[in-house]
Structure 1
């Protein structure tokens, strides 16, 4: 033994690293792994430095670093840390894209989407944040070209624009797709231009004088908000005293008898003063923006209509 480090053949290098001979030969032919020496017969031989170089090449390739970048690292033009930072960012983007793709696939499966719907969802979810904001902004601006009421609606909409996060949940993605479908619908545009804002107290009961409505509506709104906050189901037994209190107030103010006719009239009035599709839009915005739903901010009409039309328990006596 003279202290000279032994050289390895391609076969020995393959056995020590697990890298196929064909791959090692390819790296050698492209200059990434030049042989340390050659035998008189022309066979390549590799020293321990080449062994370390091969380990680095394999590690970078398994991390999906391209060959041109691997060469720059080996030549000393880039550090491993610099490459790692750049590829960490690229990998994060790739993971984000895969998560979004996964969510889209689940949404397509859940909705049983047609071919056209699938293509549309794929397009909508691939929009950049800037493109999404532009689409919503164009929709809102288009609403403001009509009546003073529609311009007021625009002001309200601008205070709460939907902003899909970079890594949305399945619920946020589904809500965003539904919002995009709504704002592309001309019929919805017309409805939103008229009812983006909840009606004022004096306009929430179309069938009574504004002064009378302004006296009744705050009581209804507060009563329903308290019931919701307490977890009272509109169709449960706990809703009975809530409804009775509201009907009693209406009967007293309107000078009418508490009975089926008054209750059905109230339900019809509340329905006329509420647009469920517009409410749906606002709920979708809350979902996309991950905002907490506050019971007092929810329209009171759906709860009251449901509770008023619930069959009353038979009286016993």
Structure 2
């Protein structure tokens, strides 16, 4: 068709696959202006209106609001600029929806109370700055003033574009940092750790837990002579504290192991080696040795 072809509203609707009501709305809004009018005042549209409506439909399908669509079709705003802005807005919406899904999935899986749901929702929505403040407050309460040299390795750093697992891990870890009992238990444990190293400042600064991890053999019967030999080797180590049993029971706190696991997920680190089997075996072997000595 040549450029002189004009369409009525009904014809334009059929040409573009839209409804008469939609074409009339766009015309009334001035987004698709008529090229001419009949003597009776009926609007007529040129062939450019076909391309204009096609563009409008595409932009609307992509979620752009009507004022933005008007700017694009009137060339008041470039399409690339509008697309970039809208893509950024969609990214923000997607992140919000992902956070909501993660929280709801956690609630469904854990049977959370309304109070826990509210806390999880607030933690999930924290900004990067707010997350840093929350973690810093926890680390200061648990480790402040203690020269243990491990605070940096215990700091979660959620990436800018985390996956669902990282978001879920962050929410759970943040909940842990708000548990006063966990904070207090962590503080007590590392006060003991710091005190032990203060008494033995000569390098290497090793914790007895590392010695147990390397030496314990869960495959052995805890009551066997071989296990007793391992226990005697460990208890004779210079890093062994006087209150070894209570210290190891504090180290074995499942909340601590959970924190380290969640930390690895958030930071994209390999999962930590499970410590519980070695500690549990050693504590049983220690009890067996103590019982035999008492007998």
Sort the TM-score into its range (normalised by shorter chain): 0.7 to 0.9
Q: Does 1:221 find its partner at 2:213?
A: yes
From 161, 169, 174, the equivalent of 1:180 is 174
- Map Cα deviations across residues 116-166 of structure 1 (whole Å, 9 max, x no partner): 111111111011111111111122234466xxxx5235x522333112234
- Map Cα deviations across residues 79-138 of structure 1 (whole Å, 9 max, x no partner): 222222222222222222222222222111111111111111111101111111111112
Find the counterpart in structure 2 of residue 163 from structure 1. Answer: 157
Matches within 5 A, 1:233-244: 234=218, 238-240=219-221
1:197: Cα distance to partner? Answer: 8.2
1:36: Cα distance to partner? Answer: 0.9
- For structure 2, the 5+ residue unaligned runs are 198-205, 237-243, 289-295
Does the C-alpha gap of structure 1 residues 4 and 297 become closer, same or farther in structure 2, counting only changes over 3 Å? closer
Find the counterpart in structure 2 of residue 151 from structure 1. Answer: 146
SS at the partner of 2:146?
A: helix
Find the counterpart in structure 1 of residue 231 from structure 2. Answer: 250
SS at the partner of 1:287?
A: helix
Q: Does 1:289 find its partner at 2:267?
A: yes
1:58: Cα distance to partner? Answer: 1.1
Cα distance in 2, alignment partners of residues 249 and 41 from structure 1: 104
Find the counterpart in structure 1 of residue 202 from structure 2. Answer: none
Find the counterpart in structure 1 of residue 203 from structure 2. Answer: none
Find the counterpart in structure 2 of residue 13 from structure 1. Answer: 12
- For structure 1, the 5+ residue unaligned runs are 204-213, 228-233, 256-265, 311-317
Displacement over 6 Å in runs of 4+: 252-255, 266-269, 296-299, 306-310
Does the C-alpha gap of structure 1 residues 29 and 219 become closer, same or farther in structure 2, counting only changes over 3 Å? closer
Q: How does the TM-score come out when normalised to structure 2?
A: 0.76
179-188 or 299-308, which moves further after superposition? 299-308
Does the C-alpha gap of structure 1 residues 7 and 303 become closer, same or farther in structure 2, counting only changes over 3 Å? farther
Q: Does 1:128 find its partner at 2:109?
A: no
Q: How does the TM-score come out when normalised to structure 1?
A: 0.72
Find the counterpart in structure 1 of residue 183 from structure 2. Answer: 189
